[in-house]
Each structure stands twice: as structure tokens, then as C-alpha cells.
Amino acid sequence: MAARLTGLGTQLVVHALGQRLDLDAHTPGSPTANLVHLLGEAEERVNSLQEQLVSSARFAAERLLRVAEGQDHVHHGSPDGILQYSGLQIDMLSARRGDAVRNLRALLAAYQAVTSGEPHRTAPPTMAKPAAKSGRTTGARRR
């Protein structure tokens, strides 16, 4: 598999803006420059979380592949499950990456609205609502 030349956050920025962020394009200290700074931080956070997620997933996949091929002789009899740690780590990184992507998209929408001089036409992303548990209704909690 070929490695990507840029991180996921950078790809999202380029897709939304048609180019990479230009940190020097706005007057230093201006609201727009501050927004660009926040965008840069959000972009790097997505890039970092994506890299961590891919690394953890590769580690788990390599461990599982050794088991599937009958080559995991060192860990026979181990009380620890193969995915006990890495599965939880992958789930947490995936959730954190999703939050970071939503934040980056919201900042991109704000930047586009500010730099275009007119309101952005699409609604900003919303936070995902947790799935309702069976047998329970959504709404106010009972005490």
C-alpha cells in the first residue's frame, strides 16, 4: 500500500479551500489570522490522530495475522486477549479523530464564511447523538 503524501487534516483543508493554508496571508493579530492559526492547529491534530490510529491498527492487524497463520507461539497460554489493549486504543483514537475532523470542518466553514464575505450556505456539522438504548425513550431523564 502506498503511503499518502499528506495527512488527513491537510487533505480536508485542501479539498475545502482548494489549497493549503497560507498562515501569512492575513494581517497578524487580526480575527482572520487567528482563525487561520486555529485551523492550522486543528489540521495538525487530525493529522496526528490519523497517524496514531493507522499505527495502532497496523500493530493489531500484524498481531492478528500471526495468530491467523499459526505463528503466535510466544503468547500461547497468555491470559491477555490480543485486542484487549489495542482494540480499546483503536476505538478511542477513532472517536477522537472523528471529533477532531468535525472541529476542523466547523472551522473551515467559519473561515470560508469570513473570507467569502457572505454566510456559508451549508449548515455547520452537528455532533453525533448517541444511539438510544432499546426499551428507553430519548428526552429528559427520570429521577
Whether residue 2 is predicted with pLDDT greater than 60 in this model: the reply is no
Number of separate domains in the chain: 1
In a domain, 128, yes or no: no
Q: Which residues of 103-133 are buried (b: 16+ CB within 10 A; e: fewer)?
A: bbbebbbebbeeeeeeeeeeeeeeeeeeeee
For residues 77 and 16, is the Cβ–Cβ distance under 8 A?
A: no
Whether residue 103 is predicted with pLDDT greater than 90 in this model: the reply is yes
In a domain, 132, yes or no: no
- Quote the CA–CA distance of 84 and 100 in Å, as a whole number: 25
In a domain, 140, yes or no: no
pLDDT for res 128: 52
- The domain in which residue 55 lies consists of 8-116
pTM for the structure as a whole? 0.70
Whether residue 134 is predicted with pLDDT greater than 60 in this model: the reply is no
In a domain, 88, yes or no: yes
Q: What mean pLDDT do residues 23-27 have?
A: 81
Residue range 41-100, pLDDT digits in tens: 999 999 999 999 999 999 888 888 887 887 766 655 554 677 777 888 999 999 999 999
Whether residue 140 is predicted with pLDDT greater than 60 in this model: the reply is no
